[in-house]
């Protein structure tokens, strides 16, 4: 009996330790980001840092304006969401409501696999297939551009949108749909007027999750976006918040290095904001189901 | 009970694996340091101790990194440090006496020599201008290259090539090659790049895949997937860099105080860096050694 109790206690402690480890990591990263990100912002000036349009970190008179990076990240993510959400949502509808079971069972693993493909592979396919294609289709001298990054990101966010939306759609009580059908609505009308509205908080959670993935992506974007610190334009070479950090980190020193930490802090705040929105959506969805 | 036993077995196996990793990783450097030890004892009669402080050019990071690693392997009592602060700061540090050896990736100016400084060239850094193999361009002047880099010339036909837009490939801010190219060609902070890559290999890959591209890369990294063009009529090669006819090059120098005596450790490091033994290390770091 005593041994049993001891094991019970031990395992409890172990679980607690694991939980603490996760929280400690997050807290450590948050504190580190703030501590190492603040000095450069203080030195450059918050307004100059956030709204400056020129980033020339190694010039004789260095300029540290990250507005091009912020706008590129916002535009790129928004456009990728604009493409990814309709495609992802319709895929989810197809899987949850329309496809015969054996077809859905074949498509679902394919989408799960899409989520598991490393981002460097997305980048590799992007740079060897998509980038030359863009140059050819639009008659440009080079294909590395915001457009290429948007297209790569829109495929990368599909899995999170599809799988979360599908789960939400499948959880819609069948009585809702049966009632709609009984009133004479067609299958498609029922999906768009009843199922999707009923699952909207779950779908929104999937979309926000996708946005989080898009804004945090560095590797694939770095390979296709060209990485010049231009203000965003569809066919121009651009730098995202993530790639601004990763491309200069290896040789950076002094204020330049500190400024990269400040960019990371800005990115961190973006991600936190997205997580807060996600938590809010999930909570609202959960309450409604009760 | 069974589960607890199996858990224990798993833990034991994990521990064994970790232990395995630990022992292999700790034995590897031991083997590496053991090998050159006899060489060190034969060349150095008395074991050197102390530290060598180097301060200056960020472009010399790879060269100094390679040299100090090899030097410290043979002289385990010496610690070589490197502060990548920039050539100007490194030269000032020698004047102020805050460093043993200054590092500069440009020659000393007259007013710096007037401060009683002298220099020893350790290597030359040749930067090749590369274009796609299908590009008919063979030769460009420095002025033409500068105009292309700053976006004054945007079409290949303006320099005698095909009628197509020029795509300027470059490195990221902070890269030594970028700094070298921009300062030699005289376009510092004025370049309009189409793409910025984070490695020489990526620049070469971009030029390989785009018929309109032009870029720059360390001479040692250029292979036959791209064409290194002539600059002012001179082909880029180790020989033309050494005899000074190839223009896009700069010296990597050690900056010293004229007549001052260095510590034994610093003198030994300097001698090693300028000796023939260091040539392979310098080549490996992408520069052209000057020791014959």
Residues A28, A109: Cα–Cα separation, whole Å: 36
The CA distances from residue A246 to A265, B144, B161, B174, B215, in Å, are 14, 32, 36, 12, 21
| Residues in chain A closer than 8 A to B193 (CB atoms) | 228, 237
Q: Does A242 touch chain B (CB under 8 A)?
A: no
Question: Domain for residue A242, yes or no?
Answer: yes
Residue B31: burial class (beta carbons within 10 Å; 0-12, 13-18, 19+)? exposed
A141/B212 touch (CB, cutoff 8 Å), yes or no? yes
* Residue A219: φ, ψ to 5°: -60, -55
Task: For residue A271, give the CATH number of its domain.
Answer: 1.10.3720.10
A228/B4 touch (CB, cutoff 8 Å), yes or no? no
Answer for the pair A273, A211: CB distance below 8 angstroms, yes or no: no
Q: How many CB atoms lie within 10 A of CB A59?
A: 13
In angstroms, how far is the first alpha carbon of chain A from the final one? Answer: 41
**Alpha-carbon distance B162 to nearest alpha carbon in chain A (angstroms):** 13
- Taking the C-alpha atoms of B98, B103, B107 and B112 in order, what is their torsion angle to the nearest 10 degrees? 0
**Alpha-carbon distance B82 to nearest alpha carbon in chain A (angstroms):** 13
**Alpha-carbon distance B290 to nearest alpha carbon in chain A (angstroms):** 26
- A162 and A34 in a single domain? The answer is no
Q: Kindly give the parts of chain B with pLDDT less than 50.
A: 17-45
- The confidence score (pLDDT) of residue B189 equals 84
Nearest to B194 among A237, A251, A253 (CB): A237
Nearest to B195 among A227, A246, A253 (CB): A227
Q: Does A253 touch chain B (CB under 8 A)?
A: yes
| Residues in chain A closer than 8 A to B175 (CB atoms) | 251
Q: How many CB atoms lie within 10 A of CB B5?
A: 9
Answer for the pair B172, B163: CB distance below 8 angstroms, yes or no: no
What are the E-state strand segments in chain B?
A: 50-56, 78-84, 101-104, 117-131, 139-140, 167-171, 195-197, 213-218, 227-228, 230-231, 249-257, 288-289
- A179 and A209 in a single domain? The answer is yes
Residue-level pLDDT, tens digit, chain A, 290 residues: 688 899 999 999 999 999 999 999 999 999 999 999 999 999 999 999 999 999 998 887 889 999 999 999 999 999 999 999 999 999 999 999 999 999 999 999 999 899 899 999 999 999 999 999 999 999 898 899 999 999 999 999 999 999 999 999 999 999 999 999 999 999 999 999 999 999 988 999 999 999 999 999 999 999 999 999 999 999 999 999 999 999 888 777 778 889 999 999 999 999 999 989 888 887 876 555 54
Residue B52, both tokens: 């060598």
- The confidence score (pLDDT) of residue B59 equals 80
Nearest to B194 among A58, A226, A248 (CB): A226
Q: Does A226 touch chain B (CB under 8 A)?
A: yes
- The confidence score (pLDDT) of residue A1 equals 63
Give the domain range for residue A250: 68-289
| Residues in chain A closer than 8 A to B164 (CB atoms) | 141
A253/B198 touch (CB, cutoff 8 Å), yes or no? no
B176/A228 touch (CB, cutoff 8 Å), yes or no? no
Nearest to A60 among B61, B189, B213 (CB): B189
Three-state secondary-structure class, residue B229:
coil
- A25 and A144 in a single domain? The answer is no
Nearest to A253 among B84, B176, B198 (CB): B84
The residue of chain B with its CA nearest to that of A243 is B198
* Residue B105: φ, ψ to 5°: -105, 25
| Residues in chain A closer than 8 A to B84 (CB atoms) | 253
Answer for the pair B166, A141: CB distance below 8 angstroms, yes or no: yes
Mark A7-46 as b/e (b = at least 16 C-beta within 10 Å): eeeeeeeeeeeeeeeeeeeeeeeeeebeebbeebbeebee
Residues B146, B223: Cα–Cα separation, whole Å: 24
Q: Does A14 touch chain B (CB under 8 A)?
A: no
Looking at residue B222, what DSSP letter applies?
-
Residues B91, B109: Cα–Cα separation, whole Å: 10
Nearest to B194 among A7, A142, A239 (CB): A142
Question: Domain for residue A220, yes or no?
Answer: yes
- The confidence score (pLDDT) of residue B290 equals 87
The pTM for the full model equals 0.77
Q: Work out whether strand B195-197 and strand B167-171 pair parallel, antiparallel, or are unpaired.
A: parallel
Nearest to A142 among B84, B197, B210 (CB): B210
A142/B4 touch (CB, cutoff 8 Å), yes or no? no
The residue of chain B with its CA nearest to that of A7 is B4
The residue of chain B with its CA nearest to that of A127 is B206
- A97 and A178 in a single domain? The answer is yes
Residue B193, both tokens: 């790049």
- A214 and A123 in a single domain? The answer is yes
Residues B80, B65: Cα–Cα separation, whole Å: 9
What are chain B's domains? 49-125+250-289 (3.40.190.10), 126-249 (3.40.190.10)
| Residues in chain B closer than 8 A to A126 (CB atoms) | none
Question: Domain for residue A253, yes or no?
Answer: yes
Residues A55, A76: Cα–Cα separation, whole Å: 19
Question: Domain for residue A63, yes or no?
Answer: no
Residues A183, B246: Cα–Cα separation, whole Å: 85
Q: What is the largest CA-CA distance in chain B?
A: 84
B64-118: per-residue pLDDT in tens? 999 999 999 989 889 999 988 778 888 889 988 899 999 988 888 888 888 899 9
Q: Does A247 touch chain B (CB under 8 A)?
A: yes
Question: Domain for residue A111, yes or no?
Answer: yes
- A35 and A160 in a single domain? The answer is no
- A207 and A279 in a single domain? The answer is yes
A142/B195 touch (CB, cutoff 8 Å), yes or no? yes
* Residue B97: φ, ψ to 5°: 75, 25
Question: Domain for residue A60, yes or no?
Answer: no
A227/B197 touch (CB, cutoff 8 Å), yes or no? yes
Residue B267, both tokens: 């003198």
- The confidence score (pLDDT) of residue B6 equals 58
**Alpha-carbon distance A210 to nearest alpha carbon in chain B (angstroms):** 27
Residue B199: burial class (beta carbons within 10 Å; 0-12, 13-18, 19+)? middle
**Alpha-carbon distance B261 to nearest alpha carbon in chain A (angstroms):** 31
A141/B198 touch (CB, cutoff 8 Å), yes or no? no
- A46 and A128 in a single domain? The answer is no
Looking at residue B155, what DSSP letter applies?
B
- A72 and A19 in a single domain? The answer is no
- The confidence score (pLDDT) of residue B284 equals 85
Question: Domain for residue A230, yes or no?
Answer: yes
- A180 and A260 in a single domain? The answer is yes
**Alpha-carbon distance A54 to nearest alpha carbon in chain B (angstroms):** 12
- The confidence score (pLDDT) of residue B3 equals 57
* Predicted-assembly ipTM surpassing the 0.90 threshold: no
- A139 and A253 in a single domain? The answer is yes
- Number of domains present in the structure of chain A: 2
B58/A59 touch (CB, cutoff 8 Å), yes or no? no
Give me the helix-helix angle, A101-116 and A158-170, nearest 10°: 140
- A137 and A21 in a single domain? The answer is no
Q: How many CB atoms lie within 10 A of CB B142?
A: 16
Question: Domain for residue A56, yes or no?
Answer: no
Looking at residue B94, what DSSP letter applies?
H
Total beta-carbon pairs less than 8 A apart between chain A and chain B: 70
B188/A227 touch (CB, cutoff 8 Å), yes or no? no
B174/A56 touch (CB, cutoff 8 Å), yes or no? no
Best mutation target, B65, B167, B196, B204, to test chain A (most A CBs within 10 A): B196
Q: Secondary structure of chain A in the HEC alphabet?
A: CHHHHHHHHHHHHHHHHHHHHHHHHHHHHHHHHHHHHHHHHHHHCHHHHHHCCCEECCCCCCEECCHHHHHHHHHHHHHHHHHHHHHHHHHHHHHHHHCCHHHHHHHHHHHHHHHHCCHHHHHHHHHHHHHHHHHHHCCCCCCCCHHHHHHHHHHHCHHHHHHHHHHHHHCCCHHHHHHHHHCCCCHHHHHHHHHHHHCHHHHHHHHHHHHHHHHHCCHHHHHHCECCCCCCCCCCCECCHHHHHHHHHHHCCHHHHHHHHHHHHHHHHHHHHHHHHHHHHHHHHHHHHC
- The confidence score (pLDDT) of residue B248 equals 93
Tracing tokens 């392979």 back to the chain, one arrives at: B280
């Amino acid at each position: 009996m005593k041994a049993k109790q001891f094991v019970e206690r031990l395992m409890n402690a172990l679980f607690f330790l694991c939980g603490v480890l996760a929280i400690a990591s997050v807290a450590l990263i948050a504190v580190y980001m703030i501590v190492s990100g603040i000095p450069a912002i203080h030195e450059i000036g918050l307004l100059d840092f956030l709204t400056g349009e020129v980033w020339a970190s190694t010039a004789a008179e260095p300029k540290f304006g990250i507005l091009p990076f912020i706008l590129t990240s916002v535009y790129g993510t928004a456009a990728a969401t604009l493409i990814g959400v309709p495609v992802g949502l319709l895929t989810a509808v197809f899987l949850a409501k329309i496809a015969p079971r054996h077809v859905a069972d074949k498509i679902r693993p394919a989408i799960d696999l899409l989520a598991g493909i490393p981002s460097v592979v997305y980048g590799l396919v992007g740079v060897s297939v998509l980038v030359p294609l863009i140059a050819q289709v639009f008659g440009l001298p080079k294909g590395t551009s915001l457009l290429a990054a948007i297209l790569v990101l829109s495929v990368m966010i599909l899995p999170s949108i599809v799988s979360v939306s599908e789960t939400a759609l499948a959880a819609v009580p069948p009585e809702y749909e049966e009632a709609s059908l009984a009133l004479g609505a067609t299958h498609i009308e029922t999906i768009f007027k009843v199922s999707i509205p009923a699952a909207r908080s779950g779908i929104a959670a999937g979309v926000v999750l996708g946005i989080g993935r898009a804004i945090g992506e560095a590797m694939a974007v770095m390979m296709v976006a060209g990485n010049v610190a231009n203000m965003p334009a569809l066919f121009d070479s651009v730098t995202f918040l993530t790639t601004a950090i990763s491309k200069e980190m290896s040789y950076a020193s002094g204020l330049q290095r500190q400024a990269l930490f400040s960019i990371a802090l800005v990115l961190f705040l973006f991600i936190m904001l997205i997580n807060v929105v996600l938590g809010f959506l999930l909570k609202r969805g959960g309450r409604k189901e009760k | 009970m069974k589960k607890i036993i199996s858990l224990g077995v798993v833990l034991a196996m994990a521990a064994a694996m970790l232990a395995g990793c630990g022992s292999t990783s700790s034995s590897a450097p031991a083997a590496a340091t053991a090998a050159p030890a006899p060489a060190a004892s034969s060349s150095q009669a008395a074991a050197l101790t102390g530290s060598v402080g180097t301060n200056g050019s960020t472009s010399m990071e790879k060269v100094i990194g390679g040299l100090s690693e090899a030097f410290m392997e043979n002289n385990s009592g010496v610690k070589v440090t490197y502060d990548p602060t920039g050539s100007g700061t490194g030269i000032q540090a020698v004047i102020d006496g805050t460093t043993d050896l200054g590092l500069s990736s440009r020659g000393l100016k007259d007013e710096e020599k007037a401060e009683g400084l002298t220099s020893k060239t350790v290597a030359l850094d040749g930067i090749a201008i590369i274009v796609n193999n299908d590009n008919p361009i063979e030769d460009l002047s420095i002025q033409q290259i500068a105009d292309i880099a700053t976006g004054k010339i945007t079409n290949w036909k303006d320099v005698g090539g095909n009628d197509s837009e020029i795509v300027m490939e470059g490195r990221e801010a902070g890269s030594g090659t970028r700094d070298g190219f921009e300062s030699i060609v005289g376009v510092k902070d004025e370049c309009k790049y189409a793409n910025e890559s984070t490695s020489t290999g990526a620049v070469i890959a971009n030029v390989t895949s785009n018929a309109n591209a032009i870029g720059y890369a360390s001479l040692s990294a250029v292979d036959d997937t791209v064409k290194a063009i002539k600059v002012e009529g001179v082909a880029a090669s180790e020989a033309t860099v050494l005899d000074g006819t190839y223009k896009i090059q700069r010296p990597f120098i050690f900056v010293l105080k004229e007549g001052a005596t260095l510590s034994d450790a610093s003198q030994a490091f300097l001698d090693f860096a300028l000796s023939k033994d260091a040539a392979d290390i310098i080549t490996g770091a992408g520069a052209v050694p000057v020791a014959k």
